[in-house]
Each structure stands twice: as structure tokens, then as C-alpha cells.
Amino acid sequence: MKREIDKELLEWKLRLNRKPLILRGARQVGKTFSVENFAKENFDNYVKINLEEKPELRILFDKNDVKLIVNEINVILNTDITPGKSLIFIDEIQTYPKAIQTLRYFYEEIPDLHIIVAGSLLDFTLNDMQYSMPVGRVEFCYMYPMNFFEFLTANSKNNLIEYIKNFDFKTEFSSVIHQNILEYLRLYFFIGGMPEAVKIYIETNKLNEVERIHSNIITSIMYDFAKYGTRKQQENMNIVLQYSAKNVGKKVKYVNIDKDSRSTFLKEAFYKLELSRIIHLARHSNVSDISIYENSESNIFKPIFIDIGLVNHIQKVQLTDINKLITGNEGMLAEQFIGQELISSGKSYLDNKLFYWIREEKNSNAETDYIFQHNNILYPVEVKAGKTGTLKSLHIYLNEKKLKTGIRFNLDKPSIGNFSIILKNSKIDEILHYKLISLPLYFCSELSSVLSKNN
């Protein structure tokens, strides 16, 4: 299956100032498959070293003489590594952190040699590195589950993607095409973007097979908890995992999670699940300028799960008939979908984060689902599961922050318009003049493009 990261890897291969690449992402998002497919199509020789499956090879990286390391790999694996023509892929590198340190010497002494490393729990190792991190000698690339466009590509619907990308807002969006895309969107809501789940559905067209894959993925994720700490810490991670999948988009209050667990332990579990990229935490930010990353509040957050298909599995939604998959959680699923899309559509070399805004005052609560930053401008984002819904919080945010444009995602066709609304408050009514960019949910990955062309 084609992934958008394929293009990123090719650009990395051809770049003259290329450095060893550290590929970061959660378990089973397709890292190994993408690297192997990339290697087969672009290199004469491909060498894979899995340090978890072959721990006896770890000792190779105890030395800093990388030319000697290459020679030993050639002998042991009966291969012929040639800079410029060979790709070395070191998988599960987190099992031996010393190997990460040697990447700096590969960059300094054999810069023409292409090296990619990955690992399902790599972020834990990078965060707790006891060895010297090769800062400035490596580069990063982030990988996520398949987004909706990748899902359409896997279903041979590139024509729908092109129609979305080429839409210019000067003509009416086709109602027939809109409905066709919504059918695939609903399918994606319940299959999700984990590559194995997408692959099994395309091959079998059976939703019960997808359910089996989802179960296996969740089991493997929970199996990994044994690597994180004590039995109690593992229990807390399981509690937080279940809670996050069932409470997507809701502000976390520890007392609502588990009354028998201390908040400090639950906070640690959130932190570890975020490091493992099983969940993403959308953090509250009250700023109105470009310093959103520096001024978010780490203790006020809401969870977004790794994958929308896994959310439904944990919530015990039975995948039996796609035409009957209507649940009472459409609003939550819509917010989960937009969160996933915003993260995966960001620049691949950045560790993309999510932000939202919340105000909790007596008789004056307000909350935007997300805050999106584009070209140093912030935009409040509202997500609706249907075609209608109030925009009160969006209006309040625009007025307070003196911003001019808001974004709404819903199930209606795309439109852009200028509006005026009277905001009532205790002192004096105010008139808000603003632009509303209203997009169907499936337009999310094109949001930056739409803003560049229409704002």
C-alpha cells in the first residue's frame, strides 16, 4: 500500500546534506513495511538488522569505528554494503541505545551511506538516553496510521482525492461526489488507519476480519506495557488507555478515571502512553499569537487516541454491517477523526502537537475543539458530527483574541462566507465580523492549502 511517507523517504535519499534518519511512530503504524518497500524500489542492496530478533548483533555497535562495523556486517550477513547504493535499516534500535550513539560516526565518517533506524518504543529510549545523543548528526521523521487520503488510495479512489485537492470554491461541490466520499469516510471511521486492518479489509471485504486485527493490535499494545515498569504502573496504563479511548475530546479530570488510583500515578500513565504515541494529548492554550507551543498548559488536556478504528473496538462496536454502523458517539468520533488528520497532515519532520482552548467561568463556559496554527496565525476549529450546530465558543474565541477567521468541520459541502453576529455580554453587546471557512470532515488534510488560497 502506498503511503505519503514514501515521498518523504525518497526526498531524504536524494538530499545532499542527508543524515541518518530516525523514524518515530507507534507500534504497527507501518514503519518496517514502508522502509522495506522503499529500499526495494530505490537501492541495489538492502540490509536489515533487527536488534530485538538478533540480540547477538548488538555487540557490533559497541565500537565507534563505523568502517569496521560495516565490514563485520558484510561478513556476518554475507552482503556487500556500498555507500550510495545500499540502505542499512536498524530496527528495534531502542533495545540497544549504544547503537543510537554510533549514528553520529556514520554521519561524520561515511556520510554517503544511507541509514534508517526505527523502534516501536523508541521515544522512551530517546527521552532517557544515558549515552550521548548524536545531536545535529541525525534527523527525524514521524509516522502515523494511514490518514483518510491514504485510505482512499488503498481503495483505488485517487480520483476522489484529486477532486478534493483541485476544488477551488468558485463552483459548487458535486453533491454526488460528496455523498460518495462520505460513504468511504464512514467506512474509515470504523476500519481506521492501522495498515494491517486496512489491508485485510481490502483483501477480504469482511468487517469481522478487521475486528480480529483490531483485537490483535490492542493486545500487542497492552503486552508492551510489561516493558514500562511495575505491575501497578502497567495497571494504571491499562486504565488510562481504556479511559482515553472512551473519552476522546473530554477534558481529563483524574477523579473521573479511577477513584482508587492516585492522580500522580495516572498522570505518569498519560505521559507514558503519550511517549509511546498510543494517545495524543491536546493541551489548552490561551494565547492569541504564534507562541502557542511555548505557552500551552501541560496540566489541562484532553486525549485523542492513536486510531479511530481502535477507538470503536475498545468501545465494543461490532463490525458486522457497514450500513448499520450508526452509534451514539458520532460527535466524539468526528473530533477523533479531525485530531488524527491534523497530526498526520503536519510536516513529517516535526513532532506535531494538538491544542485547544477552554474557558471555565460561572455562566460563561466556552471551548473550541482545536486551535490550528498556519503561517503564524491561529484559527479556532469547531467540529460537528452533522450539518448544523452552534458556533458560540468559536465566536467568543475570535472576539477575545481579536482574530478574523474561524474554521468549522462538519458533514456539509465546503463553503466560505463572511458573517456578522451580535455577542451579548453583561456590559455592552458587541458585533463580531468574521470569515467562516466551513469544510466537510474529509477536507481536513487540505486545511493548510485551503487557508493559503483563501485567507
Q: Which of 248, 454, 221 is nearest to 369 (CA)?
A: 248
Q: What percent of the chain is modeled with pLDDT above 90? A: 77
Predicted pLDDT at 323 = 56
> In the predicted model, is pLDDT for residue 7 greater than 90?
yes
Model pTM? Answer: 0.94
Which of the four pLDDT bands, split at 50, 70 and 90, describes residue 328?
A: low
Predicted pLDDT at 224 = 84
Sheet of strand 415-423: strand arrangement: 370-374, 377-383, 405-410, 430-440, 415-423
User: pLDDT digit string (tens) for 408-429?
Assistant: 999 999 999 999 999 877 677 8
Predicted pLDDT at 423 = 87
> In the predicted model, is pLDDT for residue 175 greater than 70?
yes
Predicted pLDDT at 363 = 73
Q: Which of 35-49, 141-155, 243-257, 281-295 has the lowest mean pLDDT?
A: 281-295
Predicted pLDDT at 415 = 96
For domain 5-142, which architecture applies?
3-Layer(aba) Sandwich (3.40)
**Taking residues 360-372, what's their average pLDDT?**
88
> In the predicted model, is pLDDT for residue 32 greater than 60?
yes
> In the predicted model, is pLDDT for residue 155 greater than 60?
yes
Which of the four pLDDT bands, split at 50, 70 and 90, describes residue 294?
A: confident
Predicted pLDDT at 454 = 86
**Taking residues 297-325, what's their average pLDDT?**
82
Q: Where in the chain is the domain with CATH 3.40.50.300?
A: 5-142
Q: Which of 23-27, 313-317, 355-359 has the lowest mean pLDDT?
A: 313-317
User: pLDDT digit string (tens) for 104-121?
Assistant: 999 999 999 999 999 877
User: pLDDT digit string (tens) for 59-95?
Assistant: 999 988 999 999 999 999 999 999 999 999 999 999 9
Which of the four pLDDT bands, split at 50, 70 and 90, describes residue 354?
A: very high
Compute φ and ψ for 442, nearest 5 degrees.
Answer: -70, -5
Predicted pLDDT at 430 = 86
**Positive or negative torsion for Cα 241, 271, 274, 336:** positive
Predicted pLDDT at 132 = 64
Predicted pLDDT at 288 = 77
Which of the four pLDDT bands, split at 50, 70 and 90, describes residue 320?
A: low
> In the predicted model, is pLDDT for residue 280 greater than 70?
yes
**Taking residues 306-313, what's their average pLDDT?**
95
Which of the four pLDDT bands, split at 50, 70 and 90, describes residue 326?
A: low
Sheet of strand 279-285: strand arrangement: 296-305, 279-285, 355-359, 366-368
Of 46 and 228, which is predicted with more confidence?
Answer: 46
